[in-house]
Structure formats: structure tokens, C-alpha cells
Amino acid sequence: MRLVSGKYGGRVIKTASGPGYRPATSKVRHAVFSMLESRGLEWDGLRVADMFAGSGSLAIETLSRGAAFALFVEKSARPAALIKENLVDLGEDRKNWKVLKTDLFKLLSSSPKEPYGLIFVDPPYGHDLLPKALEGILDNGWVAEGGFILAEVEAQVEPPECVAGRLELLTDRLYGQTRILLWKK
């Protein structure tokens, strides 16, 4: 997969393949970053968390654009190892990232040391994990005040009710079989 922009723009990262893995297409990644930037998101100093990281392409793109730190949360060993390998191959400073091979819901049951300004949530399709992930993020202080949460889910998934009054839905767009939901706290 080719990175879109920033200091690593044009560089290729390795991705895992197999059931359940569907790295964000370049069309979706272009759209996601355009949405974020058009809403005033600034990369410098930004802390990013990539939940259900998979290939980690979205958070790697943020590091490429100047984000200060990215946390990658991936339960499966092979994708987690590939994220680390890609970051090392790119030459990204080790202090700017952390890969956790862990169950996301166990992690979300506690609070982070510092909240994140941008959180990507890209759960496996067909398991209805978005509401539970959003509840953990909101209940335990994972997203900073004024921060963004961007979810990539199947097209038929509706914005969950659990965020009503806690997040402002800024964008709800369809890209083929993918729905992008962007909220601001």
C-alpha cells in the first residue's frame, strides 16, 4: 500500500492479508484526510490513536503529516508486527509511536495518561463493535475536548445512539461498501 502524503508520501508499506483485513483504499484515505483538514485539524503536536489498527495505514499517514505521537492497537500478532516493521522501515522515531498487541476493550476499560486529539475506529465488519468501542473511548477519557473520532464501518451501519449529546456528528459519507463517520467532542 502506498502512503498518500507528507514526509512518507509515495512510500510503500506492507499490509496483512486474509479474512477480515481490508486496508483503507487510497480513495478513502484521501477523503478522510481531506475531511479532517477541512475542519481545521492541525497535525503538529497531535496525539493519534488507531483502534483496531490492522495495517495502521491511517495513523502512519498522520505521522507522515507531522503528528507527534501515534498509538496503534491491534489484537492480532501478524498485523501488529507489520505495523512495527513498517514504522522501523520508514525511519519513524521510536518515541513517536507505540504498538499494543492487545484486546481493545480491555484497554478501553481504563483511562490513558493523556487523551488523544484524533481517534480512528475501524472495527471488523459484521460484529457490531462500534458502539462498545465508542462507549469505552468516551466513558474513560480517551478523546480530548475538541478532539475528533473517525469511524470506518460497513455502509449499512447507522451512527450509534450511544454518542447522542456527547459527540457532534460532522460527517456521514458513503464510499461504496464503506461508511465514514466523523464526530467532534
pLDDT in tens, 73-126: 999 999 999 999 999 999 999 999 999 999 999 999 999 999 999 999 999 888
Does residue 180 sit in helix, strand or coil?
Answer: strand
Averaged pLDDT of the chain = 92
- pLDDT at residue 22 in the model: 56
Whole-model pTM: value is 0.94
60, 13 Cβ separation under 8 angstroms: yes
Number of Cβ within 10 Å of residue 184's Cβ equals: 17
pLDDT at 149 over 90: yes
Q: Using 50, 70 and 90 to split pLDDT, how confident is the model at 20?
A: low
82, 55 Cβ separation under 8 angstroms: yes
pLDDT in tens, 29-54: 888 999 999 999 999 999 999 999 99
Domains of the chain, CATH where assigned? 6-18+26-184 (3.40.50.150)
- pLDDT at residue 24 in the model: 61
- pLDDT at residue 57 in the model: 92
Could you tell me which residue, 149 or 54, shows the higher pLDDT?
Answer: 149
97, 90 Cβ separation under 8 angstroms: no
Could you tell me which residue, 90 or 28, shows the higher pLDDT?
Answer: 90
